[in-house]
Amino acid sequence: MTNPIPTADHLTHFDATGQAHMVDVGAKQDTHRTAVAAGTIRMKPETLALITSGSAKKGDVIGIARIAAIMASKRTSDLVPLCHPLPITRVTVDFEIDEAANSVHCRAQVETIGKTGVEMEALTAVQVGLLTVYDMCKAVDRGMVMTNVRVMEKHGGKSGDWTADIDA
């Protein structure tokens, strides 16, 4: 299924004259909102072995990346200029080791009860989680690649539920 190409009137962060602005969500209903994002970091097999063995020089890579991801989700509005600060009610961050692909997959789920969604918070959590893995292992592998960071699903709000196409 092909999505229509968005036009300028679909971009909610611009006013009628094309100036950037923060979307007014004041009239929206508070609803339970959830977003899930995911991404991957690929690396050398030796780097993945350091992570899985717990012998990376800087310590527990996955544990520290999880905390960084959670912290980042709470600071999204400080990083992305037009994001609303949100009262996040729950954040979970999971990492999966994929030895066959020499990768670590990150998945973040963020929830709130509010007037706007938490997709940006979930994406920020994943990206900072992956950046933290990179930071902690860059001394042995500067060629790591972060890839496929995207929203996987969102729930709640006026637009309802959405799930990513698996092949997108």
Q: CA torsion sign, 140 to 124 to 68 to 164?
A: negative
Residue with tokens 């600060």: 85
What is the C-alpha separation between 4 and 156, in angstroms, rounded?
Answer: 22
Q: Which residues pair with 103 in a beta bridge?
A: 42, 98
> Binding site annotation covers 82?
yes
- The radius of gyration computed from the CA coordinates of the chain, to the nearest angstrom, equals 18
Q: Residue 115 in 3-state DSSP? A: coil
Q: Is 144 annotated as a binding residue?
A: no
Is 153 annotated as ligand-binding? no
| Relative orientation angle of helices 61-74 and 119-137, to the nearest 10 degrees | 150
Asked whether residue 137 is marked as a ligand-binding residue, the answer is no
Q: Which residues are catalytic?
A: 135
Retrieve residue 50's tokens. 């350091």
- For residue 137, give the H/E element and its range: helix 119-137
Query: Do the annotations mark residue 50 as ligand-binding?
Result: no
Dist. CA 42–CA 103, nearest whole Å: 4
Residue ranges of the annotated binding site for substrate are 82-84, 120-121
